Structure formats: structure tokens, C-alpha cells
Amino acid sequence: MKNGLTRRGFLKGIGAAAAAGGMSFSGLAKLAAAPARRYQGLPTLVYMFPGGVQADVARVQDALNAIAAERIGATIELRAVDWGAYDTQISLINASGEAYDLAFTAPWINNYYTNIGQEYLAGIGDLLPELAPNYYASMTQDTWNAARVGGDIYGGINQQIFVKPFGPYIRSDVLEAIGLADAFNSMTSYADLEPILAAVKEFADSDDTLTHATSNLAPLSIAENWGFDPILQYLVVKGTDESAQVQIYTQTDEFAQAVETIRRWYLAGYAPSDVQQWTEMDAAWQAGQIAVRVADIVKPGGNAEVAARWGWDVTSRALVEPMLTTGGVIATLNGVGSVSANPELAVRYLELVNTDPLFYNTLCKGIQGVHWDWEDEAQGLIRPAGGAASFADTGYNPNTDWMFGNVFNAYYTDPSQVGAWPETAELNRNARSSPVLGFTFDGSNVQTELASISAVSREYADPLGSGVVEDVAAGLATLNQAMLDAGIERVRDEIQSQVDAWKASRA
């Protein structure tokens, strides 16, 4: 319990005073100018998230409000912010005290832990069982504990694939052309991918559009590919180590094997000599210039998702044992703003969006007969409405079901997806639990070291992970010495101390 006036109390007080005196924050002004279609003065919940503005968003919002007004006594205002601007925009909003009720947050965007540390998110651990009982009961306590920081929960977990069974994707037409479908489908390790990449390169050399087998080899070095749970990027625990000993990832045999493989594949010409960034990689994939994503999450229905996103039918093969990790569980969350005037209603919204398939699918897919029609209602399969060529042509297609709520309630958009949700839920249930599932690291004592490690990563680890370092052994030695100089051992010891205390508290 914090002493004194909290940020939420302070800013809410200022907001009330501003309203009484005729002053306003920009956010308060927006709320005061809510459209006339508000339902008889019901509170409006402002939901902020990254994404493109959809042409029919107002129409969909009205359909959502017809449900929300009846179910929770509130309406919802959808505020999409461009992906590239979301982090900056919401940081400015938070710093100014502008009010919103719900926001998408994760460790990788609008950082969940930073939001908690800065008191930008409200604790909802006590509210969830009371105001969102069905949503709360749909996941185990171990799962909820993954989102718990300092004893409280600050984000509603979006149920989806929590585990990360990494493996390669390959364009199906290219796999058929090289005649190695049986070899691909029987792979058991990344070593088995090497002859397939060689065959793809040979095929690309004679193809007018295909330029390389792949465009970025760095994903192969991701710690999860080698059975580790990364507490931080370079501080890991082996998934099979029940004693939970923290290791420096760059010092492991597995990391050395990864960067040696990446270098060998780089020299073989499987990827461009100019390392491509993620946006360039996606553009190259969509343009048909590459055929393989060397390490991505392979999941039920994933092939259809890739085809819908980039326009190519694909085949995939999981090579990594699924493991339930804290990072996997909290990969996508929706938090309640700490200066929200209606935190209880916001939690009721989390119950609604995560347990009501009609509301959730209206948010994700739009309106029946306008944006989608049933293809097979019994199977939950839909098609674009009005004979449109794709959902993108209907006026509403966020294509971010995983951002909004429980994906297992989503309608299927491709026949190959049917049945994927129960299969995915089964993967989550049956996966090995990480020895540190639910542990959250407090890095406040090692901020200087963490900043130095991040700089070392950019200077030495990124080139190794891209294959551009000529002498891998020398590059590894330089990287590891730089990590030591940056204080990585102190960070490791701090994590180990916290892990040991966490384990003792659960005994």
C-alpha cells in the first residue's frame, strides 16, 4: 500500500477541479464532446489501441453500444492509433493525465511494466472475481499470476496461444516445386531445415520473382527456440531446470550453435547480404521475393492467418516443445487506466468482451450482413459480406482479434482454421510450465546495467544474430566480454536472488 495521494487520485482531483472551473485536458474535452448517439447519458468508456482507422468504425461502434448499453450500462469509444505512433502517443497521454478507460498494453508495446511502475494502470486483481467472474474463472490462478506484479493484476489477459512452438513456414507452391514436402513435414530440428533452404535458394536462382530463401535469419537465435524461458533477453532459465538457475544466454552452447548456424546460412546466400528489418521482411514476403520464415510461432490455424496476411499459402512445422511462460501469457493485455472515472465499468467491459461471442466478434469482424455472412454457422465459419473478394474490402477488418479479447470465441474466416481454437486451448493446457511461470523481475536496482546491456546487444549481439560477423568465435568472445563489462553478472545475481525468494514464497 502506497502512502499519500496516488497518481490516480491526484489527477482525478485535478480533472474534477478543471471541469468545475471550465478548464479541461484535451481528453476531457473529447469526452465532453461525445456524439449525440450516446445512449441516454450513459458513461462512455474510451478504449485506446494500435491499429488503422476502419472506414465503418462508427457503424460498428454503434452496434457494440447497443449491446454494451444493455449489458453493462455504458458505451464504448474506439480510438485506434497508428501502429508507428502508438507508443509515443500514449506516452504523451499518460504524462499529461488525459483520461482513458482501457488501453492495449504488452511487454513489447505500451510497456506493461513501465505502465505499472509509473502508475498509469489501475490494479484490478480484486475487481476481476467480482465484476468479471466468468472471465476470471476461464483461466487458472497460475495463468493470472503471470500478469501479477507486486501482488496485484494490472491487465486483462487475452486468451490465445500462450505457448511458443517455434518452427519454419514455407510457401506451399515453392515446397511443391522443390519436391521436399516429405522432408519438411518430418523435420525434428533446425539442422533438418538446412538442405531445404539450399533447395529453395537453387530454385530462387532461376525464378523471376523469388530473390532469396529468406530475408532475416535473426529469429533463429531467439532463446525459446533452444528451450529457454527468457526472463530478460539475455538472462534465461532452461525450461527443464526445476531449480531455476539463471544463465547468461550468450554464454550457453545453444546460443553459440544458433549464431554459428546463422553465419553458415548467411554465407550460403539464403538471406540478403544487406540485413533487412522486420518491415522490409514482411514487404519482401508479400511481394513474393522470399519463401521461408525460418523461425516463427507455429500454431493451429496459423497457416491460414499467414495466407490472409501476406497472400501466400504456406506449410509450417513446429520444432520446439511448447512451454508456458510468463512472457507468453502476458503477450497481449488490456489494462484499465489509472485515471479512469469508471474503473468498475471498465472491468465489466473486460467480462463482456471476453465472454460474449457476439460482442467480441462485432468488435473483431464487424456486423453480420454488412461486413460478414455465415459460410457455415454450425462450424462458426464466416465469409466476406455481399460477395466482397476479401474482408479487407468490406469496410471493417482490423484483423487483430488477439488484441481485443478471447480469441477462442472468434469466428473462423478460413475453412482450414476450423477446429483451431480447441486445439490451441489444448496446447496451452498440456504445455510444460516454465520453472519461473508467474515470476516478474524488478529491475529497479540494476537500471544502469540494463541500459548498458541493451547498448552491448545493439553493438555486438545484433550483428552476430544476423550473420554478418566474419569470425563467429571471436565475435562471441567480444560480445561476452562486453556483457561482463556492462554488468550482466550483477543483473543475473539480482534476478537469481529474486527468483529464489519467489520460489520460497510459493513453497
Q: How far apart are CA 164 and CA 330, in angstroms?
A: 13
Residue 291 has pLDDT above 50, yes or no: yes
Give the pLDDT score at 9: 54
81 neighbors 403 (Cβ within 8 angstroms): no
Residue 371 has pLDDT above 80, yes or no: yes
For residue 307, which amino acid is it?
Answer: A
- pLDDT (average), residues 55-62: 97
382 pLDDT above the threshold of 60 = yes
pLDDT above 60 (res 8): no
pLDDT score for 62 = 96
Per residue in 300-341, pLDDT tens? 989 988 888 888 999 999 999 999 999 999 999 999 999 999
More confident residue, 388 or 273: 388
**What would the pLDDT profile of 72-82 be if each residue is shown by its tens digit?**
999 999 999 99
Res 276: pLDDT: 59
Looking at residues 136-159, what average pLDDT do you find?
93
Does residue 4 have a pLDDT over 50?
no
What number of H helices and E strands is found in the chain?
Answer: 23, 17
Average pLDDT taken over every residue of the chain:
90
* Cα dihedral 348→144→100→394 (10° resolution): -80
Indicate the pLDDT class of residue 2, thresholds 50, 70 and 90: very low
All residues at 6 or more sequence positions from 279 whose CB lies less than 8 Å from its CB, including other chains: none
Please answer whether residues 440 and 326 qualify as being in contact, where contact means their C-beta atoms are separated by less than 8 angstroms: yes
pLDDT digits (tens, 9 = 90+) for 84-142: 999 999 999 999 999 999 999 999 999 999 999 999 999 999 999 999 999 999 998 88
Domains of the chain are: 7-160+329-362 (3.40.190.10), 368-418 (no CATH)
Residue 25 has pLDDT above 60, yes or no: no
Kindly report which listed range (17-31, 51-65, 164-178) carries the lowest average pLDDT score: 17-31
Whether residue 299 has pLDDT greater than 50 = yes
Strand positions, DSSP E, 30-83: 44-50, 75-81
Which pTM was predicted?
0.80
Answer whether residue 28 shows pLDDT above 80. no
Which grid cell is 321?
516443445
pLDDT over 90, % of the chain: 82
8 A C-beta contact, residue 168 and residue 292: yes
Residue 398: which pLDDT band, with cuts at 50, 70 and 90? very high
231-260 tens-digit pLDDT: 998 999 999 999 999 999 999 999 999 999
What pLDDT is stored for residue 452 in this prediction?
Answer: 97
pLDDT of 267 above 70: yes
Cβ proximity of 233 and 458 under 8 Å: no
Strands 432-433 and 323-324: parallel
Mean pLDDT (whole number) for 424-452: 92
Residue 70 predicted with pLDDT over 90: yes
pLDDT at 151: 87
- pLDDT of 39 reads 74
| The amino acid at 103 | A
More confident residue, 24 or 496: 496
Q: What is the DSSP letter of 457?
A: I
Query: 444 or 8, which is more confident?
Result: 444
Reported as a single tens digit per residue, the pLDDT across 206-235 is 999 999 999 889 999 999 999 999 999 899
> Cell numbers at residue 372, please?
460478414
Local structure of 382: helix, strand or coil:
strand
